[in-house]
């Protein structure tokens, strides 16, 4: 009987190790807005902490890109590809937004400087090769 428990534990361990990191409420709220076609609302919430002149220009450019997203047709939801924790206070979330015409690949970078999360970057592309969920740190770049 003990052997059965060891076999079961060894089979479940990889699945448990691959579990996704829980998404911060702020990230999930933006993705949920995008899921129902509210691109501007999602981006305004995500970028509300962007207050420097350079950040405001980036914010406006990002919000202006919602016109292109709208041309993708009806939104059908999103899939989380990967949520990669970089320590306890930085999270990179890779998602695929499913639209009628084609998918859009999103990367959202969240940072928790104290007790709340804020979004540091939002990147998207229609080319899957432009935003792959690559390893955050590899042996080749460690210590560079």
pLDDT reading at 57 higher than 60: yes
| Structural domain count of the chain | 1
Q: Which residues pair with 92 in a beta bridge?
A: 84, 109
Work out the pLDDT band at 1, boundaries 50, 70, 90: low
In a domain, 130, yes or no: no
The pLDDT of residue 135: 58
| Neighbour order of strands in the sheet with 75-85 | 75-85, 90-99, 103-111, 118-125
- Residue 141 falls inside a structural domain: no
Where in the chain does DSSP place strands (E)?
A: 75-85, 90-99, 103-111, 118-125
Residue 18: its pLDDT value, please? 42
CATH number at residue 50: 3.10.450.50
User: Is residue 75 one of the residues assigned to a domain?
Assistant: yes
pTM score, whole prediction:
0.77
Q: What is the pLDDT of residues 76-118, one digit of tens each?
A: 999 999 999 999 999 999 999 999 999 999 999 999 999 999 9
Supply 94's token pair.
């890779």
Where do the H-state alpha helices sit in 18-111?
25-35, 39-46, 53-64, 66-70
Centre a 10 Å sphere on the Cβ of residue 5 and count the other Cβ atoms it contains: 9
Each residue of 4-20: pLDDT tens digit? Answer: 444 444 444 443 334 46
> Could you list the residue range(s) of the whole structural domain that residue 72 is in?
21-125
């Amino acid at each position: 009987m003990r052997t059965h428990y060891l076999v079961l534990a060894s089979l479940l361990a990889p699945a448990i190790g691959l579990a996704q990191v829980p998404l911060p409420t702020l990230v999930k709220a933006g993705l949920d807005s995008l899921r129902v076609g509210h691109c501007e609302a999602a981006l305004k919430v995500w970028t509300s902490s962007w207050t420097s002149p350079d950040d405001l220009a980036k914010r406006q450019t990002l919000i202006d890109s919602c016109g292109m997203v709208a041309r993708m047709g009806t939104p059908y939801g999103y899939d989380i590809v990967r949520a990669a924790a970089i320590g306890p206070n930085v999270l990179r979330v890779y998602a695929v937004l499913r639209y009628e015409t084609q998918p859009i690949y999103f990367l959202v970078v969240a940072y928790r400087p104290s007790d709340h999360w804020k979004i540091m970057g939002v990147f998207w592309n229609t080319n899957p090769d432009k935003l792959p969920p690559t390893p955050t740190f590899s042996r080749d770049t460690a210590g560079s």
